[in-house]
Structures are given as C-alpha cells and as structure tokens.
Amino acid sequence: MAAIRNVYFKDMTMKLLHIDSSILAAHSVSRQLTAQIVAKWQASHPGTTVEYLDLAIAAPSQLKAWSDRVAQVGHTFKYTEKGP
C-alpha cells in the first residue's frame, strides 16, 4: 500500500495560492507579511509552485466606474505643479 501511495504522490507538485489585496503596494504591512510567509514556506517546502493573485489590481468594473465618477478634475481634485 505504501508503494502505491508513493507512486501516486511522486508526480504531484505542491501549490500555494498567494493573495494580496492592499492598495498600498510596497507600503503595505500585510503584503510584506504574506511575502515573508511565502518565502518561509518555499524554504521549508522546496519545489512548491506559487500562484500569485493581486486583487487590488483587478478592481471590479462597478468600483472602477464609481471612482471615475467621483474623481473629477476641478471638482473633487485639481492638478498642481506637484501633481494631483
């Protein structure tokens, strides 16, 4: 039975799903923490495949439409020589 189990699991690669969602990018403590956790996991589980998903980049279309409606030059913000 052990030989059958070893043959079955021999070709399986462990996968880890790494999800971030903070809009703070490099300033995000949670992003730094998840990066450390993934690095430690990979060090203790060599050969692990990591799939990365950033939810902050893929904002839902309704949220994008709302932010475009709210952020209007001259009404809710203005450009200066230093930027918006």
Domain boundaries, the chain: 2-57
Residue pLDDT, tens place only, 13-56: 889 999 998 888 888 999 999 999 999 999 999 999 999 988 88
Kind and range of the H or E element at 65? helix 61-70
- Inter-residue contact 69 to 36 (CB < 8 Å): no
pLDDT of residue 41: 94
- Please report the pLDDT score of residue 59 as a whole number: 65
